[in-house]
Amino acid sequence: MHEMSLVQSILRILEEQATEQDFTEVRTVWLRVGALSHVDPEALRFCFEAAGQGTLAEGARLEIIAAPGEGWCIDCASRVTIPTHGAPCPACGGTRVRPTGGDDLAIAELEVA
């Protein structure tokens, strides 16, 4: 489960930001998770709760902001929204859709004290 390593990286970032910005508690973390990121939001929530024990994020809420997958269809030369890798173009049904976005995972916002 790579979600645990992702959460551990997020917690490291939170610790670094706590030092830089002088806060001691994280109340809410908003994460933007792209549809093409291969991240399971429920596994991410589980790992965040488990790995957050004993950290400044213990008890913090994790809010997931779902970002759509984006692609470029070579067949019809259109920018399209796609739900998964390998999905056909919703405009023309073509199968030559190249992902162009929505594969990210990023901290969008924090509520801290």
In the chain, DSSP assigns E strands to: 26-34, 61-67, 69-73, 78-82, 97-101, 105-112
The predicted structure's pLDDT at residue 89? 98
Spelled out in words, what is the top-level CATH class assigned to the domain 3-112?
A: alpha beta
For the cut 70, the answer to whether the pLDDT of residue 2 exceeds it is yes
Q: Which pLDDT band holds residue 1 (cuts at 50, 70, 90)?
A: low
Give the whole-number percent of the chain exceeding pLDDT 70: 99
Mean pLDDT of 23-33: 98
Global pTM reads: 0.88
Which tens digits make up the pLDDT trace of 74-111?
999 999 999 999 999 999 999 999 999 999 999 999 99
The predicted structure's pLDDT at residue 73? 98
Alpha helix segments (H runs only) across the chain: 3-21, 41-51
CA 22 to chain centre: 25
Q: Where are the domains of the chain?
A: 3-112
Residue pair 110/17 in contact (Cβ under 8 Å)? The answer is: yes
